[in-house]
Chains A and B, each alone.
Chain A
Amino acid sequence: MITALLSDTRAKIVLAKRLKDAQSEVKAIEVTLTELEKLLDAARQLAAAAEVCRDRLGAEMIAPVLAQTVAVAQEAQASRKRFAEGTSRRENLALSNTGRKAQAALKDLGERWQLYAQGQLAPYLELLRLVTYLPEVAASEHEIKQLVAQIRAQVTKPPQSAAQLAQFDGRLTELGRRLESVARLPDEVRSFLMNVVEGRATLADLTPPVRSWVEEGNRATAFSIKFV
């Protein structure tokens, strides 16, 4: 009986002590927690982006980002240890530093994604430049521009989830579908259109296949001849 009572009382003494200590450090814990919330946000983005982008960017491309992530994790782990043991309850500075490193890693990852995403978008933009005046393209110019803008936005920021990545991929596919009618242009036509866009087209470029393609589908209205 007495042993249980004494043991129980001792536990209460320890708990009360912990509570008192915690109360006196609540401010420190609060700033630590605030900083942690920021770091958590960064960590979430970093972790998610790294995970989503890992396969697209390839191992070699993603490795430097992962290395940075490990460093961030190690710092966070050290901070936790100090906090948990009570040696330092105010970890905001350390965590802020760690947060910057996490942001840097995230930025690095974003740049790497941007390279990848731009590479994916570039052919479509080139094609769009050739056909943008064609009547069949001009009819859905607004949707195409909006789609391109959305894709550009996703290029600037790495996807945080598979859904975002799928959305990115879907938008690229949609853009391709919309340019599909011109996407299969014969080479002579493609060359003619290139010269037209660059203001270098001559009558010589109006070859029969080109004339035939122009006359199809009321496309001739899209062209005019002017002096140099």
Chain B
Amino acid sequence: MTAFTRHQCWQHERIGEVINKEAIAVDVADFMATHAPLGQIRDVRAGGGRDLSEADLLGELMRGAQGDRHIFAVIQGIPGTGKSHLIRWLHQRYEREMGAQDAVLLIERAQNSLLGTLRQIIAKLDIGGDALRQQIAKLRGAADSLSARAMKDSLLDNLRVATYEREESVKGKIRRNIQNFLLDPTVRVFLQREGGPIDRIAVFLTAGRQAEAAGDRPEFVADDFLISAKLLDAVIHQGYPEAGALASALDLKPDLREELAGYLNRLLDYAISRTVALSADDLRQTFNDLRRELCRQGKGLTLLIEDITAFTGIDQGLIDVLATQHTGEANRDFCRMTSVIGITDDYYSSRFPDNMRERITHHLTLDSGAGDQKEAGLLQSQAAAADLSARYLNAMRADRADITVWFEDGARADYLPNRCNECPHREPCHAAFGAVNIGPGDGPPVEVGLYPFNERAIWNVYRRLDSTTLARTPRSLLYHVILDLLQTHGPKVIAGSFPPPAKELAAGIPDRNLPALAKPVQQRMLSSQGGPDAQRIQSLILFWGDGTIDARGEGAARAVGTLAPDVFRAFGVRQIEGTEGEIVLPQPDPEPDIDPKPQPEPRAGTKYDADIERWRTGGLLEQYENLRKFLVSFIESAIDWTLHGVAAGVVDERIKPGRFEIEGQSGRAVGDRVTLLRSDDLAYVLQALADLNTYGSQLRPEALGAHMVTLGAWLRANEQQIISFVLQPSREQPSPMSLVEMLTIDCLMLDVLSDNLRNDATTSADLLRAIVKSAAVEVSDRPSSEQDWASLVDRARATHSRAWADLLRSIKGARARSCRTQLLKQLNQPQGSSSDIRFLDAATALDVIARLRGRDWALREIPAIAEWTSPTWKDAGGVYALLAARLDDLLADEAAYQSELLARLGEISGEDGPDAVMKAVDAFLVTLSDHGIPHNLDDPPGKAQMLRTLLQYLGTTRDEAGRATRAVRLSAGGRYVQQAHDFIAYLSRLIDLASKVGAQQDRTIAQLQAESDALRLEERTLARYDEILDLLGAPPQAAQPQEAQP
């Protein structure tokens, strides 16, 4: 007989067959071979006081069928609790018992999509008369339509139709714009992108959800409408105006995103139904015809549906079908129906129609617990998890053919193939790893071994799975414990490298959930005794064992961490000695003392000593946070930052515990940080800091002196690295310029863009004053808000070119506030050694501005600041990069913008100057007033002088060649631009009015002239007068007809 070591008793290829992750449906024989009886099916109607077993439920269904009773059973549970499993088991058993009496249809989650579901129905309904065949043809057509590549487009189109056919949004912004929003090509591409809402829904309908995905059908979520600045720009400038309006609003208002997602979800059923060209009524008609057909055949219909969400879009019709009884006058020609459907809790609470709830005859749940803490009732104990695991392990050990034969022979639990029975290692294996009796309670035992797990290992892994992403359900146990471990690490058993280190054992366990030695002091001993296998042994101790290396017993019975020698031997590792006797665990930190007394002279070191030593020799630092805090505090206080020209704000920003990492910790370090490598020197530094922080001045002078030397030497060796890190945006990125310079330039440009500068602000001091004034607002009691920034952008839209407003929008208010706040922090310097008195380092800022002026505000381009840098660098760099990239174009655009304004004013004025124009305007208004012609024009926005001044300002700005001067003039010229807009708007309205009045007068004149020759009559009369006077020899006439020359 071979030794029980590195033995693989399961068949690797059977792992994927028995726990089939790709296709949810597994072979029925395997399914029955792995079935664990469910004993905790809670009857919700019974007030939680009644639990059914699966056998009870099966009995209920059968009795109902025999008594010709309608049954509509709902099995509720969080995803993965075993609803499908139970329904499949019911199907197998029910069909065996009642197959002759009922047509039994199981709608599997197989492909878990509407397409797959419809195809199942088509395949299974291949009976019946013409009417039924027609209905089936319709289903087939629906299934085919779902295969069409135009699914996404069709979904969007039907959603758009639903916005006016089905329900209009109560939100005006959505109601007015949604149709063109859904029609906009850019928006459509965005919504249809891979992983986007339309893609998710279309994939769900055609291919089904991912096997592991939890929850119900995919829906819109608010984040689906988080639109990038680039996309928003494209929609606004290239798309429908309505689409731009809604996209802009979505960009600014998270609530609106929520509202839109909810609204579109309400329309989803309608859109899906139209897309598949199959309505709930069609489905209802199909089943009604089927029931008539079966009634004629004298049969009942039993429908077992694993997951109702597969019917998304027509699910409401299905529920109606299932609730329809065969009694009553109208339904007399229907056959009896027994139905069991699996639904998730979320579906039941949000989508199951209220009026149908009372028509459920059996409302059952597989959950235990409540609210967010719900978990599968099936796995409430270590033993239950072991029981379920054992069945799957047994199936993986058996040949498929044997299982099939067993199934075909009646699938009796007591005859289940069990390879343990013939295994030569059965005795030591079951003794070391444990075994579970999976036989029927009233039959002979069927002992199945848990190897290569034991009960504790299964439970330890299962309970440590990441609860934020994985619910504790049978599915999680199978996928993330049994399947994952055996597929990933199973081959390592033969290779002699099983189990892997604890961190690698199970992908589903987050680092924070990894177990630790129950007695950390044993770490050093474990490492030392385990040698090269220390990590594997530690994994074994932590998961299979009790988390200690406590040794008990002697010889072959000697257990370490409760693990027998056979456990170690089975995996090809030597059992370590472990530790005997009482191990003194470190005491927890003492409660803070209200009246601390001087500590006695240390004699036994500190609580950090063992930890530091363990780390020095390759282990983890368990007191990591405290030790790191000591170290960072030391760095911050020991370096003379002023000497190195580092602003106080930069030190605050960069010298934080989170930015320093001590090598060798279990967590994965992310972001921008300095890694201090494991070394003896650093270990000594940590030790010194631990001593100093624990005992302070109580240390003996010689110890204190030694520590000072240690710390000093280490600081000298590492100071330059730390200072470089502080001054750089990130560890990897050299500083493109000093942070203060970047922030000063950013803030100056922000003031330009915010129209904060005055035209006469020509000196560096003037500019700095403006910068500081704006920045001071951000550190005042009333800092600017996002709304203020939005107003600024709106104002910019009114008085500047589009590029100007776009740049402001790209910069974003938060970054502007950050730059301004940080600039003051950076410039804020302590006065001497004082920590209270501070002054503003104007000299540095003035120097920056002077240098900028010296190069006529030319901004040199810098490499992009990396994403993982500090927020200050990221904000400053982000703003600077935008400014550097766009400033020249912006000034050109702005000049073009103002030229356009001037051109427009010139076009309106023609050859006439401001005086002539405004005189004509006044005269016109007087004429209107004198003749009582109504109009809604106010007074002109200003007099001729104002018009003349603004024309002069804008003209000068346009013609200004210098970048700096032009920028200041543009910033200061907002009011002139506004006036120009006002004049243009006013004069344009006046032109419109004059044209309109002129046209009216033309019509009036034509009409009067057509209706009467009064004027000619008057002229004739006057002519007569003149003729008479001429005849009579009177002098020539001076008086003319009544008229006033304009």
Q: Which of A6, A74, A83 contacts B994 (CB 8 A)?
A: A6
Does B991 reach chain A (CB closer than 8 Å)? yes
> A30 near B1025 (CB under 8 angstroms)?
no
Q: Which of B995, B1020, B1026 contacts A80 (CB 8 A)?
A: B1026
Give the chain B neighbours of A17 by CB distance below 8 A. Answer: 931
Q: Which of B912, B1031, B1041 contacts A84 (CB 8 A)?
A: B1041
The CA-CA distance from A40 to B1018 in the complex, in Å, is: 16
Does B920 reach chain A (CB closer than 8 Å)? yes
> B1032 near A43 (CB under 8 angstroms)?
yes
Total number of B residues with any Cβ neighbor in A under 8 Å = 57
Does A225 reach chain B (CB closer than 8 Å)? no
**A176 CB to nearest B CB, Å:** 35
The CA-CA distance from A20 to B1037 in the complex, in Å, is: 25
> B1008 near A20 (CB under 8 angstroms)?
yes
Give the chain A neighbours of B924 by CB distance below 8 A. Answer: 6, 9-10
What are 29 sample pairs from A and B whose C-beta atoms fall under 8 A apart? A1-B908, A2-B910, A3-B910, A6-B920, A6-B990, A7-B920, A7-B1046, A9-B998, A10-B927, A10-B1046, A11-B1046, A12-B997, A13-B997, A14-B1044, A22-B1018, A23-B1011, A26-B1012, A33-B1020, A74-B1034, A76-B1028, A76-B1029, A76-B1032, A77-B1029, A80-B1022, A80-B1026, A81-B1039, A83-B1021, A84-B1025, A84-B1040
The CA-CA distance from A19 to B987 in the complex, in Å, is: 29
Which of A65-73, A123-131, A156-164 makes up part of the contact surface?
A65-73
Does B1001 reach chain A (CB closer than 8 Å)? yes
> A16 near B1004 (CB under 8 angstroms)?
yes
Give the chain A neighbours of B907 by CB distance below 8 A. Answer: 1
Known: A13-B928, A36-B1028. 12 other contacts (CB 8 A): A3-B912, A3-B919, A5-B998, A9-B997, A10-B1046, A12-B1001, A14-B927, A19-B1004, A33-B1017, A80-B1022, A84-B1040, A85-B1039
Total number of A residues with any Cβ neighbor in B under 8 Å = 51
The CA-CA distance from A44 to B1021 in the complex, in Å, is: 16
Give the chain B neighbours of A36 by CB distance below 8 A. Answer: 1021, 1024-1025, 1028
> B994 near A9 (CB under 8 angstroms)?
yes
The CA-CA distance from A16 to B917 in the complex, in Å, is: 24
Does A8 reach chain B (CB closer than 8 Å)? yes
**A158 CB to nearest B CB, Å:** 15
Does B841 reach chain A (CB closer than 8 Å)? no
> Which residues of chain B from 885 to 929 have any CB-CB distance to chain A below 8 Å in the complex?
907-910, 912, 916-917, 919-921, 923-924, 927-928
**B878 CB to nearest A CB, Å:** 47
- Interface of A, secondary structure class, is helix
Interface string of B620-642 (1 = CB under 8 A from A): 00000000000000000000000
Does B518 reach chain A (CB closer than 8 Å)? no
Give the chain A neighbours of B1029 by CB distance below 8 A. Answer: 73, 76-77, 80
Seen from chain B, the residues whose Cβ lies within 8 Å of a Cβ on chain A are 907-910, 912, 916-917, 919-921, 923-924, 927-928, 931, 933, 987, 990-991, 994-995, 997-998, 1001-1002, 1004-1005, 1008-1009, 1011-1012, 1014-1015, 1017-1018, 1020-1022, 1024-1029, 1031-1035, 1037, 1039-1044, 1046
Interface string of A8-48 (1 = CB under 8 A from B): 11111111111111110110011011001101100110110
The CA-CA distance from A44 to B916 in the complex, in Å, is: 52
Does A203 reach chain B (CB closer than 8 Å)? no
The CA-CA distance from A22 to B1018 in the complex, in Å, is: 7
The CA-CA distance from A66 to B1020 in the complex, in Å, is: 27
Does A4 reach chain B (CB closer than 8 Å)? yes
> A25 near B1014 (CB under 8 angstroms)?
yes
Give the chain B neighbours of A79 by CB distance below 8 A. Answer: 1025
> Which residues of chain A from 48 to 74 have any CB-CB distance to chain B below 8 Å in the complex?
69-70, 72-74
Please give me the 7 A-B residue pairs with the lowest Cβ-Cβ distance, nearest first: A73-B1032, A1-B910, A22-B1014, A86-B1042, A12-B1001, A80-B1025, A19-B1008
> B1002 near A37 (CB under 8 angstroms)?
no
Give the chain A neighbours of B1043 by CB distance below 8 A. Answer: 14, 18
Query: Which has the most chain B C-beta neighbours within 10 Å: A5, A11, A16, A72?
Result: A16
